[in-house]
């Protein structure tokens, strides 16, 4: 074979290999629609919400039940954490603790983030089922939506299946739900197929006599210096504006991954890098009521509202607020708080709860 023919053959072979790899990656990746219906799962009859009733809501990123004895590869800004997965024993301990805290708090609605389902790192467990089976007497209804899913993620720290969900449990009837995609972080096209695909999980709860409450569960991408948080916050605001314009009461909770206004100067300089002094979150906080309110999360007693305890050897206690409950103006806040006295070893986030009065 001449040198020219050999070069042509190698070029064609390279193209064929690239096409094969791309096709395989496409088949292994997940391709959700921008908006798709989510079925409510109700194991038993559930009551409807009543006009004017008090409603307690908890949001908690349970960190795939991993516990606090690890520094995972993606816990550090340079992705050099030594750990890739938790042990079965630590997952079992965290499961017991999550169930204990939820039972003790007894919220009417529970919004959980980072709940694994089918992930190689956590033994392909269905953690929604593990938690739900232990709470079925309290929460007959639930909805769930993936925000990260792949049959095989080639990332060396994953190198297997990925599956992570937003899960909402409710004491009250849920008639349906929807997964609403949020802007995804840009990356190398091939790796983009396996990256998390953040979303909002909206659950619709009917109110006796007419109308419904829309409860939204979400987790935004953590900031890394690009404009992804800004684009995601803008998408969230646009959706909330639509609900507000329709006159529908709504509540949004989750791990938004952003500091509240005024908290930036209190972080040590070495930990400020991914955040902006003028937080992207201000776009929402200036428009809608939020728990904790800005004067709480950035005031003299702001430590009471810290919800994040990073898996970072430089941090030895909760040191920032990243989790929030936003709500429509038709809901009135009664009380709220972060449970920290017995939750520091369960997850790298602490549960935030609040009670609201529904409109009459």
pLDDT for 208: 95
What are the backbone angles phi and psi of residue 170, rounded to the nearest 5°? -140, 135
Averages of pLDDT over each 10 residues, the chain, 360 residues: 59 54 55 92 95 97 96 83 93 98 98 97 97 97 96 83 96 97 77 83 96 97 91 98 96 98 93 93 96 94 97 94 97 98 97 96
pLDDT for 15: 59
22 and 148 assigned to the same domain: no
The CATH number assigned to the domain holding 167 equals 3.60.10.10
pLDDT for 19: 47
Written as six digits, the tokens of 62 are 């349970």
pLDDT for 100: 98
155 and 67 assigned to the same domain: yes
Per the structure, how many domains does the chain have? 2
Helix extents (H) in the chain: 3-28, 88-105, 127-134, 189-192, 228-245, 269-272, 282-285, 294-297
Q: Residue 136 sits in which domain range?
A: 33-357
Sign for the pseudo-dihedral over CA of 68, 294, 221, 113? positive
347 and 307 assigned to the same domain: yes
82 and 6 assigned to the same domain: no
Question: How far is 337 from 66, CA to CA, in rounded Å?
Answer: 24
19 and 45 assigned to the same domain: no
21 and 139 assigned to the same domain: no
pLDDT for 7: 55
Give the three-class secondary structure for 100.
helix
58 and 120 assigned to the same domain: yes
pLDDT for 28: 59
pLDDT for 21: 47
Nearest residue to 279 (alpha-carbon basis) of 350, 198, 217, 222: 222
pLDDT for 10: 57
110 and 149 assigned to the same domain: yes
């Amino acid at each position: 074979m001449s040198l020219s023919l050999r070069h042509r053959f190698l070029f064609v072979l390279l193209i064929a290999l690239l096409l094969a790899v791309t096709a395989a990656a496409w088949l292994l990746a997940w391709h959700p629609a921008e908006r798709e219906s989510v079925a409510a799962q109700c194991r038993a009859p559930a009551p409807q919400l009543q006009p004017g009733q008090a409603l307690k809501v908890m949001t908690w990123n349970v960190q795939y039940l991993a516990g606090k004895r690890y520094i995972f590869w993606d816990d550090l800004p340079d992705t050099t954490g030594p750990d890739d997965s938790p042990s079965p024993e630590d997952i079992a301990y965290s499961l017991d603790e999550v169930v204990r805290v939820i039972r003790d708090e007894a919220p009417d609605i529970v919004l959980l983030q980072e709940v694994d389902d089918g992930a190689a790192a956590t033994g392909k467990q269905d953690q929604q089922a593990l938690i739900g089976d232990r709470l079925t007497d309290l929460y007959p209804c639930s909805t769930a939506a993936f925000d990260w899913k792949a049959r095989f993620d080639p990332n060396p720290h994953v190198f297997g299946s990925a599956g992570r969900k937003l899960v909402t449990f409710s004491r009250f009837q849920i008639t349906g739900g929807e997964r609403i995609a949020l802007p995804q972080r840009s990356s190398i096209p091939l790796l983009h197929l396996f990256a998390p695909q953040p979303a909002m999980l909206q659950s619709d709860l009917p109110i006796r006599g007419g109308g419904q409450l829309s409860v939204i569960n979400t987790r935004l991408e953590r900031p890394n210096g690009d404009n992804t948080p800004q684009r995601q916050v803008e998408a969230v605001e646009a959706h909330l504006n639509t609900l507000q314009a329709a006159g529908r009461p709504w509540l949004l909770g989750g791990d938004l991954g952003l500091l509240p206004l005024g908290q930036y100067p209190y972080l040590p300089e070495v930990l400020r890098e991914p955040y902006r002094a003028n937080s992207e979150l201000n776009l929402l906080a200036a428009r809608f009521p939020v728990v904790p309110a800005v004067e709480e999360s950035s005031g003299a007693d702001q430590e009471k509202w810290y919800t994040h305890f990073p898996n970072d050897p430089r941090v030895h206690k909760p040191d920032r607020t990243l989790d929030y409950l936003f709500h429509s103006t038709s809901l009135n806040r009664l009380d709220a708080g972060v449970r920290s006295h017995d939750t520091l070893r369960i997850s790298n986030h602490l549960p935030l709860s609040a009670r609201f009065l529904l409109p009459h």
